[in-house]
Structure 1
Amino acid sequence: MSASSAHPGISARSYRTAIQETTLVAAAVFALVGILGFIPGITTRYSELAFAGADSGAMLFGIFQVSVLHNIVHLLFGAVGLLMARTVAQSKYFLIGGGVVYLVIWLYGLFIDQAGAANFIPVNTADNWLHLSLGVVMIALGLLLGRGTVSERRTM
């Protein structure tokens, strides 16, 4: 059943599934966070914003350690999500794949010395908890909302 027949009066081009809407929201939030990381006041200790590394003292919302590189990664992640939200399959891959990426970043943040050179992103304890939460939620949403949308259609 096509999107237009499932939803009379809505063209297939304008209809978005729940997983596509979720991907759009997630992507918009990532992009917004990337922008907010460059705004003094929202990012405290803005004068300490470094390109990368643990020496960046800037804190988004006064909680999450950020750098120019960290903000750019959020902007790029948001842009990729906005592009991938165009199809159901890509939305599923973005949520699950992005969730896996965030779990890897969480593990990275757990095992590095936060004051050392390896903390080039940079991350702090608050970032680690956020990355764990994002990873779990994104994977869960990708699996739950993506059920029956991609792989099951291929086998029919």
Structure 2
Amino acid sequence: MVTRSHSGNVASARHLVQTTALAVAIVFLLVGVLGFIPGVTTDYDSMTFAGHHSDAKLLGVFEVSVLHNIVHLLFGAAGLAMARTVSGARLYLVGGGAVYLVLWLYGMVVGQDTAANFVPLNPADDWLHLFLGLGMIALGLLTTRRSVARR
């Protein structure tokens, strides 16, 4: 997307999908950081590196571990990098949304007290992953709808 300034100079502007991907990435970074803050994360002293034995809960609702928080930070960092281009931002939102839908399915199938629940996940996480996956895919598609239609 290109816009003209008042002086007539051509300046590049951020495409809506890039701004959206950047906002989502910042939220992931924020969630990753908040997961390491006692008080914001309840039962912080019970947090484990990985596995379903962690009783720490972000905002008292979403089960987290050190690994879970690191994944949020990495996912946010990936979003910052991918938001630099329209195609990267769209891929981040649509591809990331698909990953979260797979994670939702994984959470629905895997028992909460099994070794396979290594992230860890609880029912609140599972439903958040469903809505997050659907939302990210919708944002990726809707914010690039006009761009794709023009091509």
TM interval, short-chain normalised: over 0.9
Gaps (5+ residues) in structure 1?
none
In the TM superposition, what are the counterparts of 1:2-151 in structure 2 within 5 Å?
3-5=2-4, 11-12=11-12, 15-150=13-148
Change (3 A) 1:149 1:44: same
Q: TM-score, normalised by structure 1?
A: 0.90
Cα RMSD, aligned residues only? 1.8
Deviations 1:88-147 (A, max 9, x none): 111111000000000000000000010110100000000001000000000011111112
Report % sequence identity. 57
Give the secondary-structure state (helix, strand or coil) at the position aligned to 2:31: helix
State the AA in 1 paired with 2:2: A
Cα deviation, residue 17, structure 1: 1.3
Task: Give the paired residue count.
Answer: 150
* Distance (Å, rounded) in 1 between the aligned partners of 2:2 and 2:59: 41
Gaps (5+ residues) in structure 2?
none
Is the 8 Å Cα contact of residues 5 and 11 (structure 2) preserved in structure 1? no
Q: TM-score, normalised by structure 2?
A: 0.93
